[in-house]
Amino acid sequence: MSPNNVDVVTVGESLVLFQSLTNRPLQYETSLMKSLGGAESNVAIVLKRLGKKTRWISRVGEDPHGDYVLATLAGEGVDVSQVIRDKEAPTAIYFKDFKGYGDPSVYYYRHNSAASRLHPDDIQEEWLQGAKHLHVTGITPALGESPEETVRQLMALAREKGMTISFDPNLRRKLWGEEQARRVLLSLIPLCDIFLPGLDEAEFLLGKLPTEEYGKRFIEMGANFVVLKLGEKGAIAFSRSQSIQVSPYKVDQVVDTVGAGDAFAAGFISSFLDSGDFLGSEASLKQGLQRANVLGALATQFKGDWEGTPTMDEVNNLLKGEQSLTR
């Protein structure tokens, strides 16, 4: 992929995911299925399927897991040309444990991983060359002070270049303390154009408030748009002049919720870039929420973080109530 031809850049850690082949608890499972996980790379893959050209940046180990991460993303059409191979630190892994009820439990093995060694000195002009939009999450800053500063400086650089920026807090309580998480996440909001919290994350950051107040407060901090995920109630988007709520896309059952927020984010970002409406008209906000709701709902229908993600044509057909031809 040409370094001059990319829509969205993401930066963050991707991990090799292992989960039960038979849905038995990990304690008793003898056969594991391998896949790829990671919020930022999930977004990159989903956006690619929606017709956007994407670049994912990180550090991975010079190990078979790093080879797998790069091969998988490249196979999905994501540009991995700027990824750094680390000879001294491993690629992270994690496990999902399905109990047959509720969300799966997640166990990370990412301490001292290659991506946790991301450093501001790693940043190159080529990372953002030819790009329109930067997407980051709160997971990377949770990996340590060095990754946090890398994200902060990259957001500032993207702003200098006139790019738009989206930020999903993607709170991971297992990775850092609550006081530090709240302080760092709040400090990054003024550097983004689109802030994408879930309702539980908004409450974590600001305390319990009326829904409309969250949008107002985050916009006062500097975000141009706030897209608040409301779960079974859909989502609501706030601009500086208005708000609009859209009902969820209904599904009959939930298989695995991990990756749903990333798919939702990719859906809204893709619509935002398609519309070119950086002022946030009611029509463009509604379109963005509808697309995001479809992507987020469909991501709960399969095991794995991104494998069952639809293409843009399939999403459009679903929004029209049409069925794709399969035979």
Q: Mark residue 221 as left, alpha or beta (left: phi above 0; alpha: psi -120 to 50; beta: remaining).
A: alpha
Separation between Cα atoms, residue 35 and residue 19, nearest integer Å: 8
Q: What are the CA-CA distances from residue 214 to residues 171, 199, 208, 229, 239 (Å)?
A: 17, 9, 9, 12, 12
Strands (E), 102-242: 105-109, 133-137, 164-168, 194-195, 225-229, 235-238
Separation between Cα atoms, residue 163 and residue 186, nearest integer Å: 21
Separation between Cα atoms, residue 98 and residue 92, nearest integer Å: 20
Q: Which of 86, 193, 256, 262 is catalytic?
A: 262
DSSP run (H or E) holding 84: strand 84-86
DSSP 274-291: HH--TT--HHHHHHHHHH
194-195 and 225-229: which strand pairing? parallel
Task: Name which of 229, 210, 226 is nearest 218 in CA terms.
Answer: 226
63 a catalytic residue: no
Contact in structure between 180 and 190 (CB atoms under 8 Å):
no
Residues classed as catalytic? 262
